[in-house]
Amino acid sequence: SRILGQMQFDLFHNYTVDEHTHRLVKIIDSFKRDETKVTHPLCCEIYPRLEKPELLLIAAIFHDIGKGQKGNHSEIGAIDASAFCKKHGINKADRKMVSRLVKYHLLMSVTAQRRDIHDPEIITEFARTIGDQEHLNYLYCLTVADICATNDSLWNNWKGSLLRELYFLTQQALRRGLENPLDAKFRIRNNKDTALAFLENSRFSLEQIQALWSTFRSEYFLRNDPSQICWHTTGILNHKDPTLPLVLISQNSTRGGNEVFIYAKDNKHLFASAVSTLGNKNLNIHDAKITSSRNGYVLDSFVILDQTGDFLAPDRVYALQAALEAVLKTGKAPILRKQRIPRQIKPFSVKTQVTFLATKKKRTFVEIITLDTPGLLARISAILSSENIVLHNAKISTIGERAEDFFIISGHNNQPLSPEQQAELRHNLITELADN
């Protein structure tokens, strides 16, 4: 009774908790119908293979039931779900499956959207939590249905692409065995070998390709798949004037959005200039990867969608390419245009939170939660640039009126930020974004 008609006052949840749950069950049921294959092909492939689909439906009913109580709703729901299953004679193994699905029902979405899933350690950690292929199959279907049942406009190609990629990377890790985790060196070597096979029939010699690749750092080959490496390599080797910035934009992509690739001489304003230009064109940035080469160039990649969550029309692609080339030629700091806050955002206030996450990497992981306003990423990148902080990766996640962005950064000496630097950055970000 606690969740009946319970409203959630934000731009993320379109429905009351009970209506959301009802929609979730209907969406899961649709995975057995042919017409759903167009929008959710992997779910429609997995769902008929589930040994006990009724366990998924029970987990769906209980996944948000804890929202009517104080505390972590996922953990509360897991306890309630287990008690329900026991009362109705469901065996211990199945009770555990339902309970774990409820407890971890947000984990796959959070990992895909707010962590670097190209990092083998992230995949190994996620796979250890999931445990086996059966749990992965159930959780994938629950995650997709939960997102779709939350908000009619929440699901898009980008989210679908991210979740599929996480699913298959986790599947690969589980097949290798958790006692034999995939390491970075293996992934780098495999990506290089596969990309080289793609380029075998190109007009470029092995010497040309390897000469270019020798200027790239290992991190580049870890965080880009073979098709991306092939696309970038071909574009760079075809580029006639290396003194001018190269901008490539895909017309379509398996990554769920248009990919923008920039190869240019490094300067501290380049990333801020690029994201400012994308923001001024009313484009949504969902992912950003920033890599520096050994010879003073940067290789920046973005995944973008238009305001409706669709790919860009061809004429917009050409116009964007020209705009980026013109801006990046100047090498100057961008002028951050003050943009009008959308009407639906104005009533909301989100307290800015800056959290530094524990990691064994030679990088600093930071999560920034604040009100999602136009030009936010450009403002954050300008703050980082002003403090000589190097940005390596950004995962951009918008949840209603909240921006929940994840960044991998380092100091100008390529070392993690010290506690003092972290404190200063937290203070400056909160101060600068206070009027957000």
Average pLDDT, the chain: 87
CA 276 to CA 374: how far, in whole Å? 10
pLDDT at 41 over 90: yes
Clarify whether residues 381 and 425 are in a common domain: yes
- pLDDT reported for residue 134: 97
Domain boundary among 176, 208, 241: 176
Q: Mean pLDDT, to the nearest integer, of 193-209?
A: 95
Q: What 3-state class would DSSP assign to 140?
A: helix
Mean pLDDT across the stretch 20-46? 95
| Same domain flag for 239 and 151 | no
Residue 218 has pLDDT above 80, yes or no: yes
In this prediction, what percent of the chain has a pLDDT beyond 70? 90
What domain range is 160 assigned to? Answer: 17-176
| CA angle, 189 then 292 then 370, to 5° | 105
Q: Which residues contact 88 (CB under 8 A, 6 or more apart)?
A: none
Residues 359 and 284 in one domain: no
Check: CB of residue 13 under 8 Å from CB of residue 20.
yes
Last residue of a domain, one of 125, 143, 176: 176
The answer to whether residue 261 is domain-embedded is yes
Question: Do 41 and 160 belong to one domain?
Answer: yes
Instruction: Annotate 14-56 with DSSP letters as a single string.
Output: -S-HHHHHHHHHHHHHHTTSGGGGGT-HHHHHHGGG-S-HHHH
pLDDT at site 16:
80
Same structural domain, 286 and 197: yes
10, part of any domain: no
Q: Which of 38-42, 115-119, 157-161 has the highest mean pLDDT?
A: 38-42
Q: Are β-strands 398-399 and 390-395 bridged in parallel, bridged antiparallel, or unpaired?
A: unpaired
Q: Are strands 390-395 and 284-292 parallel, antiparallel or unpaired?
A: antiparallel
Q: Are residues 21 and 163 in the same domain?
A: yes
pTM over 0.85: no
Close Cβ partners of 405 (under 8 Å, ≥ 6 residues apart): 367, 368, 369, 376, 377, 380, 394, 395, 396, 397
Residue ranges with strand state E in 204-336: 246-249, 258-265, 284-292, 297-305
- Asked if residue 193 has pLDDT above 90, the reply is yes
Structure tokens, 188: 């780098």
User: What number of residues does the chain have?
Assistant: 436
Q: What share of the chain in percent tops pLDDT 90? A: 55
HSE-up of residue 195 (Cα within 13 Å, Cβ side): 24
pLDDT surpasses 60 at 326: yes
Q: How many whole angstroms separate alpha carbon 230 and alpha carbon 417?
A: 34
Neighbours of 195 (CB within 10 A): 22
Residues 419 and 274 in one domain: no
Q: How confident is the model at residue 66 (pLDDT cuts 50, 70, 90)?
A: confident
CATH number where 241 lies: 3.30.70.260
6 domain-assigned: no
Does 335 have pLDDT greater than 80? no
Match 């160039």 to its residue by tokens: 297
Q: Residues 128-159: pLDDT tens digits? A: 999 999 999 999 999 999 999 987 777 888 88
Quick one: 55 and 129 in the same domain? yes
* In a shared domain, residues 169 and 24: yes
Q: Quick one: pLDDT band at residue 418, thresholds 50, 70, 90?
A: very high
Query: Could you tell me how far CA 257 lies from the centroid of its own chain?
Result: 12
Helix, strand or coil, per DSSP, at residue 33: coil
- Structural domain count of the chain: 3
* 347 occurs within a structural domain: no
CA distance 146 to 27: 9
Angle at 288 between CA 284 and CA 293, to 5 degrees: 145
Q: Are 401 and 372 in contact (CB under 8 A)?
A: yes
- Vertex 53: Cα angle to 49 and 54 (nearest 5): 165
Measured distance between the N- and C-terminal CA atoms of the chain, rounded to whole angstroms:
37
Residues 171 and 22 in one domain: yes
Of 69, 71, 144, 55, nearest to 105 by C-alpha is 144
pLDDT range class, residue 1, cuts 50, 70, 90: very low
Q: Are residues 191 and 321 in the same domain?
A: yes
φ/ψ (deg, to 5) at 372 = -80, 105
Non-local CB neighbours of 92 within 8 Å, separated by 6+ positions? none
